[in-house]
Structure 1
Amino acid sequence: MKFCLVVASKKGGAGKSTLTQIIAQVLANDGQKVTILDADPNKPQFRWREGKSKLNIKVIGDVSEQNIVKMIDDVQEGFVIVDLEGVGSRLVARAIARADLVMVPIQASGLDAHEAGNTIALITEEEELLRRKIPYKLMLTRTSAMIPSKIERQMVTELTGMGLSLMEAQLNERAAFKSVFVEKLSLYELSENVSGLQKAIQNAETVVKEIFA
């Protein structure tokens, strides 16, 4: 059995790569087979895999518009997670067309909300073309781990008021999530000296639990 999860946003810096890595790590730590297709031109996932993490996460970096569909289809079992570039390209559209679920990460800003709307419009276009529903979930990223800011509360109110599928769980701004890429290790392999590590792990696992609820 295979599940294809696509992480998409037409805006760079929304947290796609961090969300991709966190989902992959929680699933792999739970014993799941995980493959990441790194379609981001900066190749953050591919560079992470060059580190010493022992988690069973396979990363494929040679992803293009021409081969993205084949690469997704070639994964026979487990979870395939696609980390996309921050534009609305044909590559992005093809990945979305193969998705069992699209995650749309957004920061608490008006610009991110606008771009999230564009990403949802792209999902809708693919639904019309394929004549099938493509489930998606919006999730706020880089939010305060303490008290939500005024703009974060406003974003939640506005997005839910629009009837959009917004997750209750949020991926907070945490030092451990940055350390994952610096150290090229998983959350479960970082030193306990990393600030707030256990809370970061709890945050990550809560997010993944809701994604697949």
Structure 2
Amino acid sequence: MPTIVFANSKGGVGKSTSALVLAQVFAAQGANVTLLDADPNQPLASWADRDPEHVPANLRVVPSVTEETILDHIDTAAARDPFVIVDLEGTANVAVSYAIGRADLVLIPMRGSQLDADQGARVIKVINRQAQAYRRYIPYAVLFTCTTVLRGRDFKHIANTLRGAEIPVLRAEMVERAAFRAIMQIGGTIYDLEQSDVSNPEAAIENAEAVAAAVVEHLRVQQEQNA
């Protein structure tokens, strides 16, 4: 079953939020999901603690995942659940390398800025080293996050550079939405939000489901290419 790893050494790119939203969509669609919180700040464990009654029954959050336990957690969850999603620490460390080595897909959340692109390039180098160590191709893709309708010069330049370098980019983006910030603040899922909580939660759900569909499609294509 696919293990999806979120990795970026730069903070503020929406890494944990993207991992959580993806897990919520898969759970809402009926899949059992394990969400491994390997970030020392424990953002996902904190989310689960804020409103435990609204954590879906088929969404398991595992806190305090360390470099000593991460492989066991991934292997156990992958043998049990259709989806395993790992939120990694921002810095490159042993746990990051271990998780990338187990990944069926590494997602690199990135805002459309040069600084984010530079840090994303570091993650790609780690992926390539682990691919060499494990003697297998490790699929990865950039996930643009916190995007808006207006595209600045930086964003256009980064997008063109990625295309020119043939770096895969997920066809859907995580748009800047108040709903995504709200769930981290108050708990619950995007499906629990009402108009009194945030404006237009339906748009956030539509966006989240488009990202989840793009992830599944990317996984399917990779499987077909490696078959």
Residue identity in the other structure for 1:27: F
Aligned residue for 1:87? 91
8 Å Cα contact 2:6-2:88 kept in structure 1? yes
Structure 2 counterpart SS, 1:64: coil
Aligned residue for 2:110? 106
Encode CA deviations 1:172-209: one digit per residue, 9 max, x unaligned: 11100000111101000012231121111111111110
Unaligned runs of 5+ in 1: none
Q: Which among 60, 63, 66 is matched to residue 62 of structure 2? A: 60
- Aligned-pair identity in percent equals 37
Q: Within the alignment, does 1:19 sit opposite 2:18 as a pair?
A: yes
Aligned residue for 1:73? 75
Residue identity in the other structure for 1:38: D
Encode CA deviations 1:51-91: one digit per residue, 9 max, x unaligned: 13142211111211111101111112221100001011011
Q: Within the alignment, does 1:162 sit opposite 2:165 as a pair?
A: yes
The count of corresponding residues between Structure 1 and Structure 2 is 211
* TM-score w.r.t. length of structure 1: 0.96
Q: Which among 183, 186, 205 is matched to residue 183 of structure 1? A: 186
Residue identity in the other structure for 1:125: R
Structure 2 counterpart SS, 1:212: helix
8 Å Cα contact 1:174-1:196 kept in structure 2? no
Cα distance in 1, alignment partners of residues 180 and 207 from structure 2: 10
Aligned residue for 2:154? 151
Residue identity in the other structure for 2:181: K
Aligned residue for 1:43? 42
Residue identity in the other structure for 2:135: R
Encode CA deviations 1:4-46: one digit per residue, 9 max, x unaligned: 1100111122211011011001000000000111011111110
Cα distance in 2, alignment partners of residues 151 and 172 from structure 1: 17
Cα distance in 2, alignment partners of residues 167 and 148 from structure 1: 17
Cα distance in 2, alignment partners of residues 176 and 143 from structure 1: 14
Cα distance in 2, alignment partners of residues 174 and 158 from structure 1: 26
Deviation at 1:153, TM superposition (A): 2.1
Higher helix share: 2
Structure 1 counterpart SS, 2:2: strand
Cα distance in 1, alignment partners of residues 156 and 199 from structure 2: 26
Decide which moves more: 133-142 or 46-55. Answer: 46-55
Cα distance in 2, alignment partners of residues 96 and 184 from structure 1: 28
